[in-house]
């Protein structure tokens, strides 16, 4: 199976379970990994945004990478989340972290610094030269404060041999259209937004890196697979079933929303690291009512 095939379909930006004192809850993570794989997910993204990477040290990320590799044991694809806003530090992480058993790295655009397009290009060009694995770039301007333009994305795709895909969470179909029209043939567009994965696949995206699939891996994964087969009429009811649920995931911050769903399912606690806090009682009640519709 080629890497493009392995990364086609539904990847989950997995949550990181914590105990009440903020330590890793390893037993829960193992159970979740088995739950996701048993429900036919294509790959897992470890220590991404939904995994609360902003409050993880590099040493903790390495612990998660090692544990996930051991428990997945080749049953699904694995992507390591390694990004940052200090290019030198990201280079150091690429050069020193142990990533045996992983298929790719998801590396978010530099945040907070708000570099211009040339700075974004130079960041990815620099990490491309030291990449131990293929890289999926990640454009999420709602979190980083700056969007990688479509033109810069295509420039990176053409100039950086190790950057094989972009996870696009800009929400701009002008951007998606340009990327699809001008990108190299093998460069992959991956949806970073659950609510628009359906139309993005119609445009040519190869799948999604999902938040909602933490809680609904089979149902959401089935919808994505139907879209990839061109069966959009069959996929549409599933897509519409999840629109309100997806909105609720982010209404009071992520991953607080999806952890509430997982707690209601008996799969994970709502424990998170500050500044993430659990959803309000009112929103928890709304989530419980939405779950009854699926």
Q: Retrieve residue 241's tokens.
A: 């079933």
264: pLDDT strictly greater than 90: yes
Average pLDDT, the chain: 98
131: pLDDT strictly greater than 90: yes
65: pLDDT strictly greater than 90: yes
Cα first-last separation, the chain: 33
Q: Is the dihedral of CA 57, 58, 61, 66 positive or negative?
A: negative
For residue 186, the model assigns a pLDDT of 97
209: pLDDT strictly greater than 90: yes
For residue 180, the model assigns a pLDDT of 98
What pTM was estimated for this model as a whole? 0.97
Which residues form the catalytic set? 138, 167
- pLDDT (average), residues 219-245: 98
pLDDT digits (tens, 9 = 90+) for 80-114: 999 999 999 999 999 999 999 999 999 999 999 99
């Amino acid at each position: 199976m080629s890497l493009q095939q392995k990364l086609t379909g539904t990847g989950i930006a997995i949550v990181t379970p914590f105990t009440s004192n903020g330590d890793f809850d390893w037993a829960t993570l193992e159970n979740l990994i088995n739950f996701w794989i048993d429900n036919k997910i294509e790959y897992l993204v470890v220590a991404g945004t939904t995994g609360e990477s902003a409050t993880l040290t590099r040493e903790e990320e390495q612990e998660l990478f090692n544990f996930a590799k051991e428990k997945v044991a080749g049953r699904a694809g694995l992507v390591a989340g390694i990004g940052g806003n200090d290019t030198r530090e990201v280079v150091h992480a690429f050069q020193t972290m142990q990533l045996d058993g992983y298929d790719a790295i998801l590396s978010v655009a530099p945040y907070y610094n708000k570099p211009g397009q040339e700075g974004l290009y130079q960041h990815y060009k620099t990490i491309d030269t030291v990449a131990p694995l293929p890289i999926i770039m990640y454009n999420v301007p709602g979190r980083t404060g700056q969007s990688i333009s479509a033109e810069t994305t295509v420039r990176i795709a053409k100039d950086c041999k190790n950057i094989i895909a972009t996870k696009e969470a800009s929400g701009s179909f002008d951007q998606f259209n340009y990327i699809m029209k001008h990108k190299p043939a093998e460069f992959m567009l991956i949806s970073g937004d659950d609510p628009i994965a359906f139309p993005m696949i119609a445009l040519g995206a190869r799948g999604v890196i999902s938040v909602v699939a933490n809680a609904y891996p089979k149902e959401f994964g089935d919808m994505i697979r139907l879209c990839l087969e061109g069966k959009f009429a069959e996929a549409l009811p599933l897509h519409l079933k999840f629109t309100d649920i997806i909105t609720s995931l982010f209404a009071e911050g992520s991953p607080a929303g999806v952890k509430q769903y997982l707690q209601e399912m008996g799969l994970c606690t709502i424990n998170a690291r500050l500044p993430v806090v659990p959803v309000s009682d009112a929103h928890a009640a709304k989530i419980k009512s939405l779950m009854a519709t699926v």
